[in-house]
Structures are given as C-alpha cells and as structure tokens.
Amino acid sequence: MPATMDIVRLQDHLQRSGSTWSIPHGVAANVVIPQRRLGAVAPATAKKAGEVPKLQLDRVLNYVPRNPFLVERRIANKILPPGAAIARPTSATPLTGGQPGTGPREAIRPTPPMAAGAGRAAAVDWRTRWGWNWITTVQDQDPCESCWAFCATGVVESMVRIEHCVWSKRSEGDVHDGMGAKCANGGWHTTALDWIKTHGICDPACYPYKTDDSPYAPTPDRGGRTLKIDGYTELGDVEQQKVWLDSVGPIACTFEVWHDFDVYGAVGTGVYRKANTPDNFSRGLHCVMIVGYDDQRQAWLIKNSWGAHWHQDGYAWIGYGEVRIEDWAKPGVHNVNPDPWTKRRLHSGAMVESGSGATHRNFELVATGPHGTVQHWWRQGGEGNDFSWHRGASFGNDCATYPTLTGTTYNRNFEMVFLTTGRRLHHWFLDQASGHWADGGVFGPNDAAGVPAFLQGNYGAPGNFEVVVRTADGRLNHWWRMNGPPWTWHDGGRFGGNIAFGGASLVQSNYGTQGNLELVAVLQSGQMQHFWRDDDHGGVWHAGAMFGGGISSSPCMIEGQFGAANENAIANFELCVAAGGQVQHWWRNNGAGMQWLHSATFGHNIATVVALLEGSFGFNLEVVVLRTDNRLQHYWRDGGGWHEGAIIA
C-alpha cells in the first residue's frame, strides 16, 4: 500500500523538531512506502506493565542451566562475583594450552565497558555479544498477521543458543497453524508461548511456515523434534527488563505501529520516535523481539519479522517509552530443553547430551560390561554443581566393543548400534515412554569388523538411520533403515579400501541442499582419510583428503558450533583419536581452507576414544576415553585447554 504521508514535509518536520531519526536528502518524494502486516491482538488476559510487580530477579539471574562462557564474561565485567563460576570436579590445571583458532573459546573479544556502578551493562546487543552472534536469522511473516508467532519463536530460538550453545531454527508455522490460526488471524506472544509450553515447537522440516491456510500436518515424528520450555517470566519494570536482557537473553514486546514507522523502516536512519504530524496515523499493534538496549541512545534494539531487507538488516532502534512499547509486560524465557534433532551433529560415539535433568543437559553414556552386556551410565547436568556419574541399566549379551549411541526423533528415544560377538550389528533402543531398553534386532553384514558409525539422517520423516561399519575385507559398508513399516535394514554398498579402523565418525553435515554424509576412517598406513557422500548428486561416496599418521584406533568426529555464524552456516568438524597412548585433537575449518589441522595432544594411558561431544557447557568439547587399564575416563576442553576429568568406571 503506498504512503499517504508527504515525505518532503515529514523530512522537514523531523529536521526542525530535532528528531532522533531522519530521512536522508535525496530520497524521492514519491517513493512507495509499503505497509507491512502486523497481527498483535491483545487478549483479555494480556498483562499491562503496571500490573506485574517487581520480581526477585536474583533467583532467576543465578539460575541453572548457565552457559559457563557467559558466566565467565559476566565475572570479568564485574556483573557477577568470582564465586559465581560453575565448579567442575576436575583438575584446574590444563593439560594443554588453548591454541588460537583451534576451538570456539579462542574467538572471545573484549566486552564493552560496564556502566559505572549500574550492576549491568550500559548497552547490550545479542547479535554481537562478546564477539558472538546469539540470534537466528531474520524471517518474513508476509503476507499473514502472524507477528506474534514469529516473536515467540525467535525468543525461544535465541535462548537455545544462549543456554545450550547450539543453533536451533524453529518453525513459526508450527505454533501458528498448531494453534488453529489462519493467515488473517492476529494473536499474542504469551498465548503462543503458552502453546509452546504445552506442545513444544518443532523445526521447519517437520512443519514449515505456510500462508495458504492449508491443514496442519506435521511429520509423524514431531514428538521427538519439538523443543520444550518450562514457561516464561513476564517483566513489567523497565529496569528489570534491561537486567534480564543483560543477564539472561532477549525478550518479547508489543508496540503500536504508526505510519511514519513505515517510512522510518524504509528510508529512515537513527532512533525512531513518533512524528507528531497531522497525516500520521496508527495502524495497530505489532509483536517483535527486543535483542538489546542502549542507554546512551535511550532506545531498545528490536528484531522485526518483515524480512532481512527491512531497515537495518531487519533490525531497528525504538526510543524508550515510545509508541506504547512500555505499556505491556515483556515476557522472557529461560531453561529451554532442546530436542535430539537440534543436537544431532554435536555428538558421536558412546555418549550424548540428553534433555533429562532439571538443567536439560545430562550426559548419557553406554559402555561394554561383563559377558557381552551393555552398561548405561549417566551424569548429572550440574544442578548444585553436581556432576556425578551414576550407573543405569545393564542389558544384552553379545556386545563385542563399545556401542555407538544417538538421540532420535522417536519420542526422544536413545538408540544404539554395536558390533556383536558374531560379527554382525545389533540395534537397541531406550523407550522413553517405559524407561526400558528394548532389543531392535540384529542386521548388517556377516563380516563386520569394527566400531560402527550411526546417526539419524535427513532422508525421510522420521529420518532414516544411517550406519557405516568396517568389514573384514578392509572396506566400509553403508547400511540404512527407512524409519517406517516394515522397518527393514538395507545394504547401501561398500566403498573405500585398505581400511584399518572405522569408528563413530559419521556426520550429517549442512553441505548442499540435502546435507552430505561425512566420515573419517583410519587406513592401513596409519593415516586418516575423509570420505563424503554427495547427496545432491546421486548419493555417491567420494574419497577426500588424507591427514595425520601413526593412528591405530577408531576416531570420533562431530560438526561443532565454531565457525557457524547463524543456523544456516556450516560449522567446523572436530575429531579426536587415540595415538601413542594419548588423544590427538584435529579440526577442519569448513568456512575457509577446508584443511585438517592438528590442534593438541593430551592425556595418558589411553587405548581409544569412545565418545566426543560438544554440549551446553560454553562450547566445551567433552571426550570419554577407554584407558589401557580398561577404565573409562572423561576429559574436557574449555578456553584454557584440555583438562583431565573423572574416572567413570
């Protein structure tokens, strides 16, 4: 819809009134200013800011889960006392120094100065906080009245990144259509958050955002692809809203859109404040995210849902107290619970980070037990600084070497595959509904001869299971299962040659449209070789680069989060493998160079690496090894290097 405002007159008014925003000279007087869709409709239950009492925020600000990376930055900037750091039951002395460029924690930049005596930062911007982006890409609600769904979804997405250090794009269409809304229907952010609390929110591949009012029909595995929230906190006091933004993360808000805001978004610069001109008019209410603030600018930083080409890459500054932005309480979310689909690239081998526990970050580990059994172990996620390991169930009778475990979209079931004493592969799964491990059956080649790689891939919904295992002829054998009746495993063929060791090193990467399968194996020469399957061009396996040397054990590989500037980017590969009684850490920069680099060597008396994981602990890498005395031990890496952790069993 074209503007009804006189651009030249508005430009003159802004200049004469000393406004905090302006229209650059040279903008054509007849430029078309679109009026984009809104959608906020306040229900009777919508809380005004004055109706919400001040909260005891210390209980929230010291909550767990806490991202140690952010805790350390707050301590460094005197927001928190030194004693607020999360204790780890491990050696405080690093085994290796942090090496620039080899891991996520070495990219830290200095933080902006604190406001003197304020107890919070004078300015916050979660797009660039401490040198990192924590906000998913800007989306476009056009042509629907669905700002409320985009606002709620964006807040939840950002909190997954902040609390669990992983990108998790969620579907605005899931909450919008799941609630039964049509394209023309408005709504409210807390109503959407209430629905997410009850039903969770899935990824776009499970159910995309649609604008045609078609029936709501997510994929059948939605139950295991939904991110969960415990609830939300409504903040009425402006100072407490800033403290939340500084200490927890983004919040949702509602404001009134006047027509000059359309002009500002299209051609304006500076901090928006409503122009008091005769031809200005209100268009209605709109929900957006607040991702920061600036006390010098006296303004909130909003993330809009009108596309990345609107205003400044989809963002804008709105002055404090303007256009009813302080009228309603602003909800914030914390303690989110990511789903297995979100975390699937972050682990390989015998351990995953689950959503169990109050902090939604327990470690789950499976290992060999006596007489061919499998033993389940689990570790607390840090509640009360408790990181203790506990023994779970024991089951099975034919496990020949340590299993490979993953979390799946089947109701968040744990699923594993291991090499049997009869040289085949065996599938087991933990049924989350009953809490019991169940036998999924034997499958695969008759000459399996190594640790299998196992994951749930992109194909199908639920995604196919993909397994690659070394065989006695020194090749790699790919097997896959379509995850629907008749639940049959299929032989996907053999590839490679002169393979000495396979391993839990299979990754469903972000490369290409479909996403490639990536794998590293160890050759008879002691070198490692990277293989990849081009799923955009026939699903053919290719032999890639060779690197390293002197390796005589199975590797573990993940796609971590370092190098991923947003949810669409391809992050670095991280690999750990045992050699000479120690662990070697390798990484590949998938943003540039594509070269495998040796980062560090650490540990002692190590026979093989059984698990590699990047979890919710500030981008730390977590490794479990099998020692030469047949005991399991945990190592971990933070910004100071690698540390020796607990002996598990």
* Helices (H), ranges, 544-615: none
Reported confidence tier of residue 101, pLDDT bands at 50, 70, 90: very low
Percentage of the residues of the chain whose pLDDT score is greater than 70: 92
91: pLDDT strictly greater than 90: no
Q: Give me the amino acid identity at 360.
A: H
CATH placement of domain 344-647: 2.120.10.70
Reported confidence tier of residue 292, pLDDT bands at 50, 70, 90: very high
pLDDT computed for residue 94 by the predictor: 58
pLDDT computed for residue 97 by the predictor: 47
Beta bridge partners of 429: 415, 438
pLDDT computed for residue 71 by the predictor: 80
Reported confidence tier of residue 490, pLDDT bands at 50, 70, 90: very high
81: pLDDT strictly greater than 90: no
53: pLDDT strictly greater than 90: yes
Q: Where are the beta strands (DSSP E) in 23-121?
A: none
Using an 8 Å Cβ cutoff, are 161 and 168 in contact? Answer: yes
Reported confidence tier of residue 127, pLDDT bands at 50, 70, 90: very high
Reported confidence tier of residue 96, pLDDT bands at 50, 70, 90: low
429: pLDDT strictly greater than 50: yes
Nearest to 637 by CA among 167, 160, 105: 105
For residues 479 and 444, what is the distance between their CA atoms, to the nearest angstrom?
A: 7
Q: What is the token pair recorded at 181? A: 């809304």
495: pLDDT strictly greater than 90: yes
pLDDT computed for residue 115 by the predictor: 39
For residue range 535-590, list pLDDT tens digits in order. 888 889 999 999 999 999 999 999 999 889 999 999 999 999 999 999 999 999 99
pLDDT computed for residue 563 by the predictor: 82
Using an 8 Å Cβ cutoff, are 495 and 541 in contact? Answer: yes
Gyration radius of the chain's alpha carbons: 26
Q: How is the chain split into domains, by residue range?
A: 7-79+114-335, 344-647
Of the listed ranges 52-61, 216-225, 247-256, the least confidently predicted one is: 52-61
- What mean pLDDT is predicted for residues 614-637? 96
Reported confidence tier of residue 62, pLDDT bands at 50, 70, 90: low
Reported confidence tier of residue 78, pLDDT bands at 50, 70, 90: confident
- What mean pLDDT is predicted for residues 22-44? 89
pLDDT computed for residue 90 by the predictor: 43
Question: Is the dihedral angle over the CA atoms 611, 616, 621, 625 positive or is it negative?
Answer: negative
DSSP 115: P
Which residue would you say has higher pLDDT here, 9 or 65? 9
pLDDT computed for residue 76 by the predictor: 78
80: pLDDT strictly greater than 80: no
The pTM is what? 0.93
Percentage of the residues of the chain whose pLDDT score is greater than 90: 81
DSSP letters spanning 125-181: ETTSGGG---SPPP-B-TTSS-HHHHHHHHHHHHHHHHHHSS-----HHHHHHHTT-
Of the listed ranges 93-107, 215-229, 529-543, the least confidently predicted one is: 93-107
Question: Is the dihedral angle over the CA atoms 220, 225, 227, 230 positive or is it negative?
Answer: positive
Reported confidence tier of residue 113, pLDDT bands at 50, 70, 90: very low
For residues 268 and 312, what is the distance between their CA atoms, to the nearest angstrom?
A: 10
**580 class by beta-carbon count within 10 Å (0-12 exposed, 13-18 middle, 19+ buried):** exposed
Using an 8 Å Cβ cutoff, are 642 and 602 in contact? Answer: yes
Homologous superfamily in CATH for domain 7-79+114-335: Cysteine proteinases (3.90.70.10)
Residue with tokens 């070198």: 527
pLDDT computed for residue 442 by the predictor: 98
For residue range 9-31, list pLDDT tens digits in order. 899 999 999 999 999 988 877 77
Nearest to 418 by CA among 434, 436, 435, 439: 439
For residue range 166-181, list pLDDT tens digits in order. 999 999 999 999 999 9
For residues 89 and 224, what is the distance between their CA atoms, to the nearest angstrom?
A: 32
For residues 77 and 87, what is the distance between their CA atoms, to the nearest angstrom?
A: 19
What mean pLDDT, rounded, does the chain reach?
Answer: 91
60: pLDDT strictly greater than 80: no
Of the listed ranges 52-61, 118-127, 206-215, the least confidently predicted one is: 52-61
pLDDT computed for residue 341 by the predictor: 96
